[in-house]
Amino acid sequence: MDYEKKHKKRTIFQKWFLNNRFSIALLNILLFFLVIWLFNKISFVLNPAKVFVSAILPPLMLALIQFYIMNPLVDILERKFKVPRIITILGLFVLVAVLLVWIVNTLLPIVQSQINSLIAHWPHIWKDATNAVQNWLSNPQLHSVKGNINDAINRAQDMLFKSGHEAINATLSNISSAISVVTIIVMTLLTAPFILFFMLKDAHNLRPYLTQFAPKRWQKSFGELLYDINTALASYIRGQLTVAFWVGIMFAIGYSIIGLPYGIALAVLSGILNLIPYFGTFISFIPVIVIAIMLSVPMVIKVLVVFAIEQTIESRVISPLVMGNKMEMHPVTTILLLIGSSSVWGLWGVIFGIPIYAILKIIILRVYNYYRKVSQVFREDEEDENFQNAAESQKILSTESEEKPPKK
């Protein structure tokens, strides 16, 4: 009865404005865009901070990626075998240095020679591939689709040459930008190892150090938030790099077996582009199929077989084993996110769109759960649900008492 009286006393203003989810959502959206507008108006104040962040971000990102790769091994050796972290870190640094020397002396010359040869012969390869397609289309049975395929080939050719011409012009007209990019790369390679060393050394102290800056009553929740973000980023980075590595290995083996020219370079390209979910492997497959068409029909069949085997192993074995469903993202969400982020931020959006989305999702869900806990709006729903449950329980009890026969 008290619950019903309380609901009757509510005014229209309380019901439709103060305690209405739609109104509160609109107010929050309005405040959000108001904050963005204010930041836009004082952007000149934030420019030094933007320059500072853009300068430290590349070495920090490189160190963070290497941290997520090395830290599990450092933790395991410290926890199970009592190996000091410093010893393991120095050993890993030496191992990485040896691996880089091997790559520079052995693998890099092979890949570089194949890439140079591929770039030099690409116009001839493209011409031979188009001629091969034209010969296939000379079949009278394919006459109806010949015009459409010819138009598609011409458009693709014009787009490729136009993009290459624009890239060359942009490079030649922005020598200063190129020098600045080289400077950033050099500084990143020099400073990232030092950042990585201290991140690995103080890995256990990083989260408590950051948590202490939060208010006392929020420190536990803030620590859990940092833990969730760290887990999501670690799963994504380790998973993507591991899958990309094995994709490159599988393609290198497959292309070597079938004798595809430029196989090592194309396998490395496939591994790098596989960092782009869903689309990367298919993009890297375009030059492969063009080269196969130039060679012969049997080579096309061999390449398709290698691609089918690689996709089967990757989708059935490697990705489920490495990635699982740790990101908890639906494939449609991933595809839409890649399309949107690439349209807004280009290549950087493709690379960082998914991890940024994962971080924002964790933060928003925690804020939403906190809001549900303290908000009067959701408390009303809980009261309504409790009231309905109590009414149903009372109804069931009364029905059972009526149906129960009296004792003799």
What percentage of the chain exceeds 70 in pLDDT? Answer: 73
Q: What pLDDT is stored for residue 189 in this prediction?
A: 87
Residue with tokens 């089967």: 312
Q: How confident is the model at residue 171 (pLDDT cuts 50, 70, 90)?
A: very low
Grade residue 13 by pLDDT with cuts at 50, 70 and 90. low
Per-residue model confidence as pLDDT tens digits over 277-336: 777 888 888 889 988 888 888 999 999 999 999 999 988 888 777 765 556 677 788 888
**Residue 165 confidence (pLDDT) above 60:** no
pTM for the model stands at 0.76
d(CA 299, CA 128): 14
Is residue 28 assigned to a domain? yes
Cα distance between residue 308 and residue 380, in whole Å: 55
The DSSP letter of residue 260 is -
Q: What pLDDT digit, counting tens, does each position of 173-231 carry?
A: 444 454 566 777 888 889 999 999 999 999 989 899 989 988 888 899 899 999 999 99
Rounded distance, CA 400 to CA 16, Å? 40
Q: Are 341 and 350 spatial neighbours (Cβ–Cβ below 8 Å)?
A: yes
Confidence of residue 384 (pLDDT cuts 50, 70, 90): low
193 located within any domain: no
- The alpha carbon of 335 is separated from its chain's Cα centroid by a whole number of angstroms, namely 11
**Which burial class, exposed, middle or buried, applies to 89 when counting CB atoms under 10 A from its CB (0-12, 13-18, 19+)?**
buried
Q: What is the pLDDT of residues 60-83, one digit of tens each?
A: 999 999 999 999 999 999 999 999
pLDDT of residue 73: 94
More confident position, 101 or 404: 101
Q: How many alpha carbons fall within 13 Å on the CB side of residue 97?
A: 7
The answer to the question of residue 145 being in a domain is no
Q: Which of residues 349 and 249 earns the better pLDDT score?
A: 249
Number of domains comprising the chain: 2
234 lies in which domain range? 204-375
Kindly state whether residue 305 falls inside one of the protein's structural domains: yes
Q: By mean pLDDT, which of 113-117, 287-291, 348-352 is the weakest?
A: 348-352
pLDDT, residue 172, reads: 45
Residue 140 in domain:
no
| Per-residue pLDDT tens over the stretch 268-281 | 999 999 888 777 88
For the stretch 35-57, pLDDT in tens is 888 888 887 777 888 888 888 98
> Inter-axis angle of helices 203-211 and 43-81, to 10 degrees?
130
Asked if residue 3 is part of any domain, the answer here is no
pLDDT of residue 176: 45
Q: In 346-375, where does DSSP find H-type helix? A: 347-374
Q: Is residue 250 part of a domain?
A: yes
Nearest residue to 88 (alpha-carbon basis) of 238, 242, 79, 190: 79
Closest by CA to 250, choosing from 237, 235, 263, 261, is 263
For range 117-138, the mean pLDDT: 76
Q: How far apart, in whole angstroms, are the C-alpha atoms of residue 248 and residue 356?
A: 26
Q: What is the mean pLDDT of the chain?
A: 80
Rounded Cα distance between 254 and 263, Å, is: 9
Please report the pLDDT score of residue 148 as a whole number.
61
Compare 337 and 18 and report the one with higher pLDDT.
337
First to last CA, the chain: 36
Question: When comparing pLDDT for 128 and 260, which is higher?
Answer: 260
* Mean predicted confidence (pLDDT) in 93-108: 91
Is residue 117 in a domain?
A: no
